[in-house]
Structure 1
Amino acid sequence: MRIESVNAVTLFVADMEAACGFYESLGFVLKFGGPAARFTSFHAGDSFLNLSLAPAPETGWGRAIFHVDDVDTVHATALEAGLEPAFPPRDAHWGERYFHIRDADGHELSFARPLSSK
């Protein structure tokens, strides 16, 4: 057996409406649920990002990493939406271009793209 990709990441959120707005601002497309639901699912490529309403979620649980086709465009989209990434996109020694951002509940997200080999 070989694990090929992440199918879904589920995050606990305190405010579904705010969380949905955040992820929609970044370009995630709603699959199920929405701002008034207790459970929401967004498309994330061939995988899914799930949000589950919890009265007092813990923060700082870790990081979800999403590969995207253009890291700089996602970063620019976040800035245009008034969001605050932790830093501008950068190339890492492990071979990815990436940046991090936290949602309103403190979940850290990384948007990354493998660097092409030269």
Structure 2
Amino acid sequence: MSLTVEKISAVTLRVSNMKASVQFYRDVLGMELLYGGETAGFSSLRAKHAESAILNLEEANTVTQWGRLIFYVADVDEVWRHLKERGFDPPQPQNASWGERYFHILDPDGHELSFACRLGQRHEHGELQRATPREGARSH
């Protein structure tokens, strides 16, 4: 019998500032805080769907770079506008040859996040921007 992974249960990111990270994932991206919080050393959050993988945040002095965390959303352009309205400066969403519309942004610790949806769900490109509000912009 061959091994089969049934699902990804959780992804853990090391973060340098738990308060900023919890505020970003909870208040900006709308994830539900399941455990921990702004003053905890370890926190868990989940996307809208209860069966989605859990995102763990672990505070550490050293934050390492790694691949990318991809969030599927109903409307990529709406997420892009949502981030712009909150003072972030993500690159324009783009259509990919593999059938997705997406854009990338960096979270407060520099982890690359991708927001994507299948082409046809809702349908215009750039350099990665760290997820910190622009000077003078409203932030959460």
- What TM-score do you get using the length of structure 1 for normalisation? 0.87
Percent identity, please.
49
Is it true that 1:108 corresponds to 2:116 in the alignment?
no
State the SS of the aligned residue for 2:33. strand
Opposite residue 43 of structure 1, the aligned amino acid is R
CA RMSD of aligned residues (A): 1.8
What's the CA shift string for 1:49-82, capped at 9, x where partnerless? 1111111212x31101111111111111111221
Residue number among 82, 89, 109 corresponding to 2:93 in the alignment: 89
- How do 1:31-46 residues align onto structure 2 when only pairs under 5 Å count? 31-44=34-47, 45=49, 46=52
Is it true that 1:79 corresponds to 2:81 in the alignment?
no
Query: Which 5+ residue runs of structure 1 have no aligned equivalent?
Result: none
Match of 2:18 in 1: 16
Match of 1:53 in 2: 59
Match of 1:67 in 2: 72
**More strand as a share of residues:** 1
What's the CA shift string for 1:10-30, capped at 9, x where partnerless? 100000001111112122221
Query: In structure 2, how many angstroms separate the alpha carbons of the residues matched to 1:98 and 1:6?
Result: 21
Query: In structure 2, how many angstroms separate the alpha carbons of the residues matched to 1:113 and 1:4?
Result: 22
Q: How many angstroms does 1:3 deviate by?
A: 4.1
Q: How many angstroms does 1:41 deviate by?
A: 0.9
Query: Which 5+ residue runs of structure 2 have no aligned equivalent?
Result: 122-140
- What TM-score do you get using the length of structure 2 for normalisation? 0.74
Opposite residue 71 of structure 1, the aligned amino acid is V
What's the CA shift string for 1:60-115, capped at 9, x where partnerless? 31101111111111111111221232x11111111001110101111000011112
